Chain A
Amino acid sequence: MTNNNLEISSLLAKLEAELKVLILKKGLKNPLMIGIHSGGVWVAEQLHQRLKIQEPLALMDIAFYRDDFSQIGLHPKVKPCQLPSDMEGRDIILIDDVFYTGRTIRAALNEIFDFGRPNKVILGVLIERDGRQIPLQPDCTGCSIILPIGQRIKLTGPTPLSIDIQTINTDKTAA
C-alpha cells in the first residue's frame, strides 16, 4: 500500500462517519473525547471539532503505564494528563492515531480506570495495522492495512497532518 491510499482527509471522514453511527447506536451521553499523546491528540482535535463534542477535549500521556519500563526505561518529557477530575460513570471516546500491537490501548484503559470507573469506552483510530499482540481491537477505523514487519506508520502534525510509512532499521529479524 502506498501513501496515496492513506489520504488523511478521507481517513478522517470515514472515522468520523463510523464514530457518529456508533455514538448514536450506543447512546453515549455527553461523551468525553480523550486523545492519546501525541498523534492521537492531533487526530482527536480534528474529530472533536467535526463531531461537535461539547465537553472539552482531554489529553492523556500513557508513558507511565507502558509495559516496557524494565526494557527501555522511562520516556523523556511525559506530559501531565489533562483529564476532568471526575471520570466516574462517564462515556468515553478514546482516540489514537495508529492501532498496532494493542499495548498502548491496554495502558490507556488502565490509566482511565485509575481516574474512576467509566460507563462505556469506545475506541477510534485513524489507521489499524496488522500485528496485534493482545486481544483488543478498535471499534471505528479510518482504514485497516497490512504492512511488512519492519515498517511502521508515522503521523506528523498537528498542521498539516501527514502520514509517513518508514522502514525501521532493526537488528532483530522477523520472528
Chain B
Amino acid sequence: MKNLQLTTEGKLKHFLSIDGLSKEILTEILDTAESFSSMSEKQVKKVPLLRGKTIVNLFFENSTRTRTTFELAATRLSADVLSMNIATSSTSKGESLLDTIRNLEAMHVDMFVVRHAISGAGHFIAQNTAPHISVINAGDGQHAHPTQAMLDMFTIRQHKHDFSPLKVAIIGDILHSRVARSQIQALNTLGTQEIRVIAPKTLLPSHVESLGVTAFNSIEEGLEDVDVIIMLRLQKERMTSALLPTEREYFKCFGLTEERLKFAKINAIVMHPGPINRGVEIASSIADGPQSVILQQVSNGIIIRMAIMSLTLQNNGEAV
C-alpha cells in the first residue's frame, strides 16, 4: 500500500504518523535535528532555509508547548508563520474544514501544521490539499503525535546513544495517549530491545501487546532495570467513564516517587511530554530532580520540528 507520507521516490512529503516510516527516515530526522543543535549559540538564531515559505498552524485543540515550538521552529527556519486561532475563526461560524483549507490554499501557503481532536484529521487534509502543500500532524485525537515521539527519540539518543540495548518503560494513561502510540512505533522502528507499558488495566488498550510491548500492572515490577522512564499525563478530559477512583489513589499506585525510581537503573532518565500534573503522575522532587530531562525535551522540540519541516518542504520546490 502506498504511504501517503512519502513521495514516489520514498522521500518524506507529509509527516502524519510514525507508521510506515523506515528506520532510515527516522534516523535522517534525528541527524538533521542534530545539525540544528548548534544554532542556539548564534546571535541571530535563524537559518534562511525556508525563506519565503508560509506555514499555517491550524490548532483545533488547545496547546501551548507544541504550538509555540512549531512557531519557533518555523521562524528559526525563516519561514512566515500564521497561527490560526480556530475558536475565533470562521470554523466557529460554521465553515467546514475543507473550506477552511481551500481558503488558506488560495493564500498560497506551503504547509499546514494540524492539531485536531479527531483521529485522522491530518491524513484527511493531506489527501485533500493542493499537491505542493505539506501537512504535519501535531496531534490527532487518540491516534498519533509523531513530532512529540521524535523529540523524545532525540532526547533518548542524546543520553543513551544507541536504542538496541535499551529497556524503556511508558507509564500512565496509555489508553488515551496518542503520544504513547507514536513513541511505541518509533521505539520499535529504531530497534529498542524492550518496551514496557505500565498502567492500571482500565488505562491500557485491549490487546496492547500487539503493539510490540510488554504490559505491567505493577509499577515496581515494570520499572525493574529500565534505562528510560516516560511518564504520561492523565487525560481527564478524554475520560468518559469512571476509569480511576481518585487522583490520590492513582498517585499511590502508579505515581513516580523517589522509592519507585530506585527500581530503575541508576542512570535512568525520566521523561514527560508535558503538561505535568505534579503529585498525580510524578512527584515534584523527580520532575525537578537530576534524572529528569523534561525541559531538555522542550528544547529538543524546536530542533526536531525544524528538521521535520525542512525535510518535508524540501521536496516541494519548483522542478528544474
Contacts and interface: CB of A to CB of B under 8 A. Distances in A.
Interface of A: 61, 63-65, 69-74, 76-83, 85, 87-88, 110, 113-116
B49 A80 contact: no
Question: Which 9 residue pairs spanning A and B have beta carbons closest together?
Answer: A70-B317, A73-B314, A80-B38, A78-B35, A64-B47, A114-B44, A74-B314, A71-B320, A116-B43
A148 B31 CA distance: 37
Contacts of A65: 47-48
Nearest to A117: B43
Contacts of A72: 317
Given A69-B310, A74-B32, 11 more contacts: A64-B49, A65-B47, A65-B48, A70-B316, A74-B314, A77-B31, A78-B35, A80-B38, A85-B41, A88-B43, A114-B47
Nearest to A77: B31
A139 B48 CA distance: 26
Given A114-B44, A115-B43, A116-B43, A69 B35 contact: no
B6 to A, nearest CB: 14
Interface in B16-59: 28, 31-32, 34-38, 41-44, 46-50
Contacts of A64: 35-36, 47-49
Contacts, number: 57
Main DSSP-derived SS at the A contact region? loop
Interface in B262-320: 310-311, 314-318, 320
Contacts of B318: 70-71
B310 A110 contact: no
A82 B35 CA distance: 11
Contacts of A114: 42-44, 46-47
A80 B35 contact: yes
Contacts of B28: 76
Contacts of B36: 64
Contacts of B38: 80-82
A78 B34 CA distance: 9
14 contacts: A63-B35, A64-B35, A64-B48, A69-B50, A69-B314, A69-B317, A71-B320, A74-B49, A77-B31, A80-B34, A80-B35, A82-B38, A113-B44, A115-B42
Contacts of B35: 61, 63-64, 77-80
Interface string B44-84: 10111110000000000000000000000000000000000
Nearest to A114: B44
B320 A69 contact: no
Given A77-B31, A80-B34, A80-B35, A69 B44 contact: no
B7 to A, nearest CB: 11
A112 to B, nearest CB: 10
B239 to A, nearest CB: 42
A69 B42 contact: no
A74 B49 CA distance: 9
Contacts of A70: 316-318
A107 to B, nearest CB: 9
A92 to B, nearest CB: 15
Contacts of B310: 69, 74
Contact of B317 (A71, A76, A80, A85): A71
